Amino acid sequence: MSVLRPFLIALQFLTVLPIRTAGAPDAAATGRSLLYYPLVGLVLGLLLTALAWLLADAPSPLAAALLLAFWIALTGALHLDGLADTLDAWLGGLGDREQTLAIMKDPCCGPAGVVALVLVLLLKFAALAELADADVLWAVAASPVLGRTALPLLFLTTPYLRPRGLGTALAAHLPRRAAVTVIIGVALAFGALAGTDGLLVLLTGAAVFLLLRSAMLRRIGGTTGDTAGALVELTEAATLVAVVLTSVPAP
């Protein structure tokens, strides 16, 4: 199997970039594509950082709004959809596993999902404005990487519950040893490139992962595509906020 094919599958699935692969992805290539999710996160992060650099002279609220709009457009709001569905199901499910899973399959967005979207986007916007103003652009690149590194870790450690969902192939064909190597490599890279700040971002991402995974296991006994999407969005928002609170000087 070509090394490039799983990467292109990951890029095609996680972004709206005009990527095409020859033929339908087979299950093995789909599973291996999870290994390249952090690399796709890096592509997104570098594109966002390039735009932030181009907007350096723009007012920081406008720069943050344009960055956030570009971010959403690049990903096709893929994970935002999962966040909204998850919050609707968590509140509407009233603690019941089957009802929670049923609500997550409903394509309609309820009030809890809308509130979740508004709050997460507001946090991202405020954090991006502060980071742009303080010229702390490494966090803009780092956040999508960590958000997408959380996905192979989730599929590595958590049962996937939809028997015919896309995650079935991801979970069944993820090369486990290679996934561990990728996750450790990302962690070491953060420590080497960002030092203490990188360690803080890693700890924030780890805390979000542990809390959400624990909530998934208690409520539904595993993960779905929607809860995986929620994990990405909440990891990104939390790491951006953490960098602002600890690395951006107070006015």
Distance from C-alpha of 159 to C-alpha of 222, rounded to nearest angstrom? 5
Distance from C-alpha of 241 to C-alpha of 251, rounded to nearest angstrom? 16
Q: Which helix (H) or strand (E) holds 134?
A: helix 111-134
Is the confidence at residue 250, as pLDDT, over 70? no
Distance from C-alpha of 187 to C-alpha of 58, rounded to nearest angstrom? 33
> Predicted confidence band at 190 (pLDDT cuts at 50, 70, 90)?
confident
Most confident by average pLDDT, 107-116, 120-129, 184-193, 196-205: 120-129
Torsional sign, CA 32, 37, 38, 39: positive
Distance from C-alpha of 144 to C-alpha of 38, rounded to nearest angstrom? 8
> Predicted confidence band at 106 (pLDDT cuts at 50, 70, 90)?
confident
Q: Which two tokens stand for residue 61?
A: 């609220």
Model confidence, pTM: 0.94
Which amino acid is it at 100? T
Is the confidence at residue 225, as pLDDT, over 80? yes
What is the percentage of the chain residues whose pLDDT exceeds 90? 70
Is the confidence at residue 229, as pLDDT, over 90? yes
**Cα 32 off chain centre by:** 18
pLDDT score for 43: 96
Instruction: Locate the domains of the chain by residue range.
Output: 4-18+26-159+167-236
* Distant-in-sequence, close-in-space partners of 145: CB < 8 Å, separation ≥ 6: 38, 41, 42, 45, 186
Mean pLDDT of 151-167: 87
Residue 76 per-residue DSSP state = T
* Distant-in-sequence, close-in-space partners of 187: CB < 8 Å, separation ≥ 6: 202
pLDDT score for 22: 65
